[in-house]
Amino acid sequence: MTKYKEYFNRMVEENKAAFDKFTQSHFEYSTNEDKYQEAFNKEGELILKVIHEWEDRLCKTSEKAGFSNYTGNLAEKFQEEVRMHFPLIDHVGIIVKKAPAFNLKKIKL
């Protein structure tokens, strides 16, 4: 198993409760984006912190080993693995503002 997949699996195992909640929130959000946007953002914020922490761990170990040229690609592969399991992860943090209804004022002649 490749190192980034190993780190992804360890991340999910060590934060199982948080990822279980996010998986449920992710599913609800995929069914109705408007209704579940706030809950998805709230859960997603916590998950993004965990993901970035583990991505940093992964890249730091590679940099210490002398492979600093490849850490960018490694980070991309790790993010692709995250997106493979959670395709809507990039929607975390979207702020939805509802526009007022469009009305035309009547002209009185």
Please give the pLDDT value at position 68.
Answer: 67
Name the pTM for this structure: 0.80
Residue 108 pLDDT grade (very low, low, confident, very high; cuts 50, 70, 90): confident
pLDDT higher than 90, residue 53: yes
Q: Where are the domains of the chain?
A: 3-91
Spell out the residues 6+ positions from residue 63 whose beta carbon is closer than 8 angstroms to its own.
Answer: 71
- Least Cα distance to 46 among 29, 27, 21, 28 occurs for 21
Q: Are 51 and 11 in contact (CB under 8 A)?
A: yes
How many CA atoms within 13 Å lie on the side-chain side of 77? 13
pLDDT digits (tens, 9 = 90+) for 77-106: 999 999 999 999 999 988 877 777 788 888
